[in-house]
Amino acid sequence: MKKLFFKTFCVTAILCTTSLIYAQETIKIGAPLALTGGLADEGKKQQIAYDMWLKKVNAAGGIQVGNKKMKVELITYDYQTDEKRAQSLAEKLITQDKVAFLTSPFGSGHTKVVAGVAERYGIPVVAPVASSESVFNQGYKNLFGTLAANSGIVSHMVTLFTKQYPTTKRIAILGREDVFPKAMAAEMKVYAEKAGLEVVFNELYPVGTLDHAASLSKIKAAKPDWIYVSGYTQDLVLARKQMSDLGVKAPIITMITGPAYKEFTDALGPLAEGISSATWWHHSLTYKSKDVFGSTTEFYKEFVAANKSDPDYVHASSAAALIALQMAIEKAGSIDKDKVRAQLASLDVVTFYGPIKFGANGMNQSRDLPIIQVQNGKVVVLYPDAIKQGNLQLVK
């Protein structure tokens, strides 16, 4: 019996040791994604970008960690655009799948939930698509976001539009009652009033609203020079169609962040014409870098070759989030969470996506974010001047 026990123990020990060595040779990153539900389009974009990065990294042997390379395993689950499910899956990724790091889901609200879980376990989480400062003011030490703050979008937009069209005096604001869209609506009110504009309508619509007729009728009666709507793609497509049905018009119509997405322009066709917006990245940028893509141009070429369409800021920021994590691991020479967290906090690099330098609250540094408009069926950059492709045109 003793010999049998000893042999069994030895076999078990060898298997355990082998499993431990294998686990140590693989870097596990967890990614809860909205692959179904209301944010499925956005979640699938994250997945596409993650896969692009993963294939390039593993094809090169993995991430350089000290004197060896470690392959990456990306563990993803569909949280079905359900906040509570996102929370439970983040917990599962950490406690059962034993991931070393996390990326957050699409949107500020769902990022906030996942970041809360990661903070409890001291797991670094990189957020590709969260830009509301309310997510980053929780005192979290483990949350890092590749998008710049929302405020940079609105302030430049108000300045640009009112300078080009000084007759713009009255603005109507309609926002989705959700973390990011709500913040964008609130910030527009602040900056519009600072610029001397009269806010003639300012309301929020509940998540899941299927009829904007009541709000749009009020906007029509207010006769604004500028209509500003915040929400996610499906909300904005619906609102724009109902504006057309009800005859709601204004010389300037802005939808945050509708035209940044191909799905928006595809769904609306001619109704997308003249709609202005903003984005955190555009493929006309010309950054050169030492990451796996090498430059904005190369990322763009690879993306178009694989997907037969242009990438948007969700794709770019999602790939950049994993690049930031990769660079932090390489600088740390370790996958120890404390060492990697420290390197993320001190990161100051230029990637194909642009500069990444996290501030004290974990947000990427502010910079001039592109303002865009649909003109002749294409998205045109209006600002900044370095990549400007045209001037604001009034909606016909």
Q: pLDDT, tens digit, for every residue of 317-336?
A: 999 999 999 999 999 999 99
The pLDDT score that the predictor gives to residue 250 is: 98
Give the tens place of pLDDT for each residue, 165-202. 999 999 999 999 998 899 999 999 999 999 999 999 99
pLDDT at 1: 43
Tell me the C-alpha distance between 90 and 99, whole Å: 10
Topology classification of domain 2-148+284-357: Rossmann fold (3.40.50)
Model pTM? 0.83
Is the separation of the CB atoms in 278 and 260 below 8 Å?
Answer: yes
As a whole number of angstroms, the longest Cα–Cα distance in the chain is 94
Q: Fold identical between 2-148+284-357 and 151-279+370-387?
A: yes
Give me the average pLDDT of each 10-residue run along the chain (396 residues).
39 40 74 95 96 98 96 98 96 98 95 97 97 91 92 87 97 94 94 97 96 98 98 95 98 95 94 96 91 97 96 96 98 97 97 95 89 95 92 96
What is the distance between the alpha carbons of residues 161 and 252, in angstroms, rounded to a whole number? 9
Which pLDDT score, from 0 to 100, does residue 179 have? 87
Q: Cα 95 vs. chain centroid, distance in angstroms?
A: 26
Q: Nearest CA to 374 among 247, 213, 264, 296?
A: 264
Architecture of the CATH domain 151-279+370-387: 3-Layer(aba) Sandwich (3.40)
Helix axis angle, 108-121 relative to 83-95, nearest 10°?
Answer: 30
Q: How many other CB atoms are there within 10 angstroms of residue 75's CB atom?
A: 17
Domain boundaries, the chain: 2-148+284-357, 151-279+370-387
